[in-house]
Structure 1
Amino acid sequence: MAGVACGRWGRIRRRGGRATRGRFALLATALVLPLAAGAGPLTAPAAAQPATVPAEATVQNVIWLGDRRVALWVNSPSMGAPVQVQLLLARDWNARPDARFPVLFTLDGLRATEDESGWTKDAGAAAFYADKNVTVVLPVGGQASFYSDWLQPNNGKNYKWETFLTKELPPLLESQWRATDVRGMQGLSMGGTAAMFLAGRNPGFVKYAASYSGFLTTTTLGMPQAIEFAMLEAGGFDSAAMWGPPISQEWENHDPYVLADRLKGTSLYVSSGSGATGPFDLDSGIPGVSTNYAGMGLEILSRLTSENFVTKLAKLSIPVQVNYRPSGTHSWPYWDFEMRQSWTQAASALGVEADKPACAPSASIGAALGANGWLGECLTGEYQVAGGVAQDFHGGRVFFSPETGAHAVGGLIGGGYQAAHGPAGPLGLPTGREHVLPDGRGWFQSFQHGSLYWTPQTGAQVVRGAILDEWGRQGFERGPAGYPTAPEVKTPNRDGAVQAFENGPFYYSAATGVHLVQGLILGKYAQLGFENSWLGFPAKEELPLKDLGRYSRFEGGNIYWSPLSGAWAVRNGAMMDAWQSVGFENGKLGYPISDEFAIPGGVRQNFQAGFITVRGGKAEVHGL
């Protein structure tokens, strides 16, 4: 058998993983005898591929989590819903803006969650791939899905993962995220099973496929029942909705063992432990048995199905790199280890170097390193950016120009800087280091043309120009607006801009300047159509009135609010002049209690103690 190896566990340490429950361990152990005997698939082999070409996927939302980590929400036509995918962008993403990079799909396990891939939550993928020149693609979600196209929706999910991963997502990555068509796929447990059958069902789609503790025969005697039990345990999913009853052809169509002959020419990596207590397990006191009982049974099951699969590959003369570990259970520290062990083979198959080239900071960049120990080792050499130079490190980037000096940008503020197009965007180069704000909730960093503010609740947001000046005059985050919650955007139909803050937006126009609108006055402004209404842009800050009332002035009129009357708008001109003539809210009419409305020949507006009519430009005041 080509490329077979048996290695020892390394000395890395990671948090323990999410194991399937104990009853599945008993079922898994019960399946050992038929699998060890090498029982074959239930019926004759056959394979099928998705026949339809799906509609084009689109990106609904993008959030930068760092300077080379980004979360995308992709509208999947086949699933009919947005799917989160996180990308760990290639090492040279910033240094070589015209370069394209191979991709490595990295699949999660049976208990995948909707917030983040286990590869970044429970293993060290983000740090490990930081100096690798591939873009790692991390699908988020897909609990118990086996990353396949299901026959029917189930448990609130319309799973069409194979179509999404192999048909919808790749064109988007290639057109928008500088990916090449050179791909690899790796996964743990359920994801390892999927990596192998997706490679077999889609010949030529990947050049590399790796299974860490995968179940590599799905139709061998007892395996459909084991998978059915696991899916129920993992979240109440019905395996019949996935591939039909166990006698269905779809089970064979997704069996790596059955599809083995279709893997010829693909670089393959298979690993599993033995189920015995390993270096990352707690000893139960029984020799060879850890406290991770479920993980023990599952790893035994993985080992035996993997052995059957590898034996089939050997009969077909298909090379595979195999690592049967002498110990280890079904848990994250071992999968993290295998991710690292398999990298050299993955790099070779994807056509990238396994190790990063030598680099060292220049004298100008090095000036920022002493005060920013979190940067770690360099990843690239120094390279040109708009207005200066930059260099990438494990924790972020350092920028330098003679005018601004050397400053580091990293973390979520580094992500916000990327979202704002970095040095080439509206902020320019950094002019200071990141600082925590006095409230202990937020952080900020200054740049040539503005600032970046971040809190856990609002994310990283750019504030600049006239809006930054007015926000600062009002006290920044300590003022009435609070923190920014969205970027500044142009108003769509009028020449101006708006930026949302926690307690209301700031509006800007050249004619009116910058003004904050908030509370129930903002609600009335929204009801009337914001700046597109007859009110136009705000022209003055909100001010107090009698009886706890408030008002804000706009280009075309004012909005008034009091606890008893609510919020209503009064138009400039005859209506406003007539109300002014009787003392505004302090006069006999009091506050408005309606917007103006049409009457025969004109308009009318009601007030607490009367109303005003306007006909032919002439106003009449009517008391009660």
Structure 2
Amino acid sequence: MRLGLERPGRRGGASGGRRKRALSVAAAALVLPIAAGLTSAGAAGAQSLGTPGGSTETAEVQSGPGMVDRVDWLTDRRVAIWVNSPSMGVPIQVQMLLARDWNAQPDARFPVVYMLDGMRARDDENGWTLETDAEAFFADKNVNVVLPIGGQSSFYSDWIDQNNGQNYMWETFLTKELPPILENDFRSTQTRGVVGLSMGGTSAMMLAARNPGFFQFAGSLSGILTTTTLGMPQAIALAMADAGGFDADAMWGSPRNDAWEAHDPYLLAEELEGVSLYISSGSGTTGQYDQPSGIPGISTNYAGMGLEILSRLTSQTFITKLRNLDIPATVNFRPSGTHSWPYWEFELHQLWPQLADAIGVEAGKPACGPGGAIAPVANGNNWIGDCVTGEYSVPGGVAQDYRFGRIFYSGGNGAHAVAGGIGGEYQRAGGPSVLGLPTTGEIALADGRGRLNHFENGSIYWTPQNGAHAVSGPIRQEWAAQGWENGPLGYPAAEQAKTASMNGLVQGFDIGAMYWSEDTGANAVLGLIMGKYAEMGFENGWLGFPLTSEIPIKDNGRFNRFQNGNIYWSPASGAWAVQNGPIFDAWASEGYENGRLGYPISDQFDIPGGVQQNFQFGVITIRDGVPSID
């Protein structure tokens, strides 16, 4: 009985009948190994498929480095980066888990580990952080971990055509556009490893082979490692159609296109010489993380069973090729287990010592422990986990990193923990150098919605809806005077920023914004008055900066004074601006909204020979500088 997956001869076309026959062979390959006991522990023999010949690369894309579009600090050592990709033409999100000593050694640079997702990669988060303990696991590892976001069914390759709304050029992005950003902006070296599961396992081997010298380590966990053998292009096409509705012909063309051979790990195997390799898969039978179905050896994860069998067969064939080429690899063919995340999490832990050795970092964390004034805080907050560094100096005090946050200490403030989204915002805002050291630990607020840490030079507030935002300086002082989050503005919803073309600051909150300039001080603009202010161009419009916060007036109305006018609002009249000048003066002479004219119901507008503004109970007209009230 032949155990290998034979590669068919070249043919001119694929009729419907041939497609069905190819799929029947692929389906049979899934069932026979269980019946024959061929997927037990150890590497079963596999028929060698020969070496590639005459394969043609897809068209090479010339692309320079991308540009960072946006950076969000999710924690002090987890960051989301949006990179404008020249090849894909859109911002691509990459998340990073920063190295253990990122904070403790601010001048150090670190090796990189790419963690590649599976066929159903999501557009909001990489599966490694969604489904496994990767974030906690890497917290004490001295590597920068790169987690590409998106790329469903892409095989992290450059496609020959756009499809399903995507312009996939992942190989160009990962190997050409992203590395300069990692090296220049995120203190990364050119020493790299790559680990992938399922589709990502295929891609890890393919990318390492197609880009000699780029990766020093490549790990495939349940990858499909022969992609051009009998029935495999059709099986991949079916999987891609199921995972997002993608057309495999847009990826590498029809199965007879040489681009399929140019991306087949098996056919590229000789290019992996010198790369530290790790290959694993289960057998497809019920393992410790599976729910038994009642049939011996068969779990309720039927799809995962078939996929893992396919991975096992193709991986065995791939390993045979490596051995024929005298290319060493660590192989772990498990006696059981299906195509599912708990097994890949397990394998990540197993492969780490080899990966660490390949990229030149220590496998374990340094000896450390909480001491002094930091110890009671660490021991009293078990959620922060174990220490991952010793104490190190920061401006004004010392800090120590833990698996899920940091603890800071200064003689004047004591020791306090900073973690999670607040820790990420603290990092973004400049940390101890800008906000100073924490003066409180994380405090849960009485409304059950928000949390905060106070610092020497500001505060950071967090809510599930808004995330974490720092508030400092005169904006913080006025916000505090108005009642903090219980005041009219609510919680901060944006970062404090310089105003676009005027010398001032602005910060968004739940229900409006706080503006500050040296001439006007800090004042809040809220609700529908804020909407009108926006319509008028904010501070860049003729109104300028606000001179007051919102002031309550007659009939539940409100108004704000601005440098060059006012915005009035009431439930009956809406929000309208009144410009400083003769109309405003004439309205004032009648008692503003309390007089016979009432509230404005229009902005000022031009009329023949002058200007006019309408009010609830009359009109003010200016002609030749002379006001008239009708």
Q: TM-score higher than 0.5 here?
A: yes
Question: 2:628 matched to which residue of 1?
Answer: 621
Residues 163-178 of structure 1 aligned to structure 2 (within 5 Å) = 163-178=172-187
1:344-396: per-residue Cα shift (whole Å, max 9, x none)? 11111111111112122231322322322222211111111111111111121
1:221 maps to amino acid: L
172-181 vs 588-597, which moves further? 588-597
The 3-state SS of whatever aligns with 2:619 is strand
Question: 2:344 matched to which residue of 1?
Answer: 335
The 3-state SS of whatever aligns with 1:368 is helix
1:53 is displaced (CA, Å) by 2.6
Query: 1-side partners of 2:25 and 2:143: how far apart?
Result: 39
Residues 57-456 of structure 1 aligned to structure 2 (within 5 Å) = 57-425=66-434, 427-456=435-464
1:91 is displaced (CA, Å) by 0.5
1:61-109: per-residue Cα shift (whole Å, max 9, x none)? 2221211111112221211212111101000000000000010000011
The 3-state SS of whatever aligns with 1:131 is coil
1:31 aligns with 2:29: yes
Contact 1:50 1:163 in 2 (8 A): no
Q: 1:287 to 1:105 in 2, by over 3 A?
A: same
Q: Select 1:53's aligned residue among 59, 62, 65.
A: 62
Q: 1:25 to 1:389 in 2, by over 3 A?
A: farther
Query: 2-side partners of 1:295 and 1:27: how far apart?
Result: 19
1:556 aligns with 2:564: yes
Query: 2-side partners of 1:411 and 1:550: how far apart?
Result: 39
The 3-state SS of whatever aligns with 1:145 is coil
The 3-state SS of whatever aligns with 1:493 is coil
Q: Select 1:611's aligned residue among 615, 619, 627.
A: 619
The 3-state SS of whatever aligns with 1:517 is strand
Query: 2-side partners of 1:545 and 1:478: how far apart?
Result: 21
2:544 maps to amino acid: G
Structure number with the bigger relative contact order (C-alpha 8 A, sep ≥ 6) is 1
2:526 maps to amino acid: Q
The total of aligned residue pairs comes to: 598
Contact 2:406 2:419 in 1 (8 A): yes
Query: 2-side partners of 1:481 and 1:600: how far apart?
Result: 42
Residues 564-603 of structure 1 aligned to structure 2 (within 5 Å) = 564-599=572-607, 602-603=610-611
1:533 maps to amino acid: G
The 3-state SS of whatever aligns with 2:202 is helix
1:291 maps to amino acid: T
Contact 1:57 1:76 in 2 (8 A): yes
Contact 2:82 2:92 in 1 (8 A): yes
1:142 is displaced (CA, Å) by 1.1
Contact 1:40 1:221 in 2 (8 A): no
2:334 maps to amino acid: R
Question: 2:505 matched to which residue of 1?
Answer: 497
Contact 1:41 1:219 in 2 (8 A): no
Question: 2:522 matched to which residue of 1?
Answer: 514
1:27 is displaced (CA, Å) by 7.9
1:538-564: per-residue Cα shift (whole Å, max 9, x none)? 112222333443221112111112344
1:526-547: per-residue Cα shift (whole Å, max 9, x none)? 1222122232211122223334
Query: 2-side partners of 1:537 and 1:38: how far apart?
Result: 77
Q: 1:433 to 1:110 in 2, by over 3 A?
A: same
1:492 is displaced (CA, Å) by 2.8
The 3-state SS of whatever aligns with 1:406 is strand
Contact 2:266 2:321 in 1 (8 A): yes
1:611 is displaced (CA, Å) by 3.0
The 3-state SS of whatever aligns with 1:444 is strand
Q: 1:596 to 1:55 in 2, by over 3 A?
A: farther
1:128 is displaced (CA, Å) by 0.8
Question: 2:10 matched to which residue of 1?
Answer: none
Question: 1:16 matched to which residue of 2?
Answer: none
Q: Select 1:464's aligned residue among 472, 482, 491.
A: 472
The 3-state SS of whatever aligns with 2:123 is coil
Query: 2-side partners of 1:337 and 1:240: how far apart?
Result: 35
Contact 1:42 1:219 in 2 (8 A): no
The 3-state SS of whatever aligns with 1:302 is helix
Contact 1:41 1:221 in 2 (8 A): no
- Structure 1 portions without partners, runs of 5+: 1-23
Contact 2:61 2:87 in 1 (8 A): no
- Structure 2 portions without partners, runs of 5+: 1-21, 34-43
Identity %: 61
Query: 2-side partners of 1:593 and 1:171: how far apart?
Result: 57
Query: 1-side partners of 2:125 and 2:50: how far apart?
Result: 35
Contact 2:23 2:234 in 1 (8 A): no
TM-score (norm 2): 0.91
2:360 maps to amino acid: G
1:466-504: per-residue Cα shift (whole Å, max 9, x none)? 222222222211221110001111223222211100100
Question: 2:491 matched to which residue of 1?
Answer: 483
The 3-state SS of whatever aligns with 2:208 is helix
The 3-state SS of whatever aligns with 2:373 is helix
Contact 1:25 1:298 in 2 (8 A): no
Contact 2:495 2:508 in 1 (8 A): yes
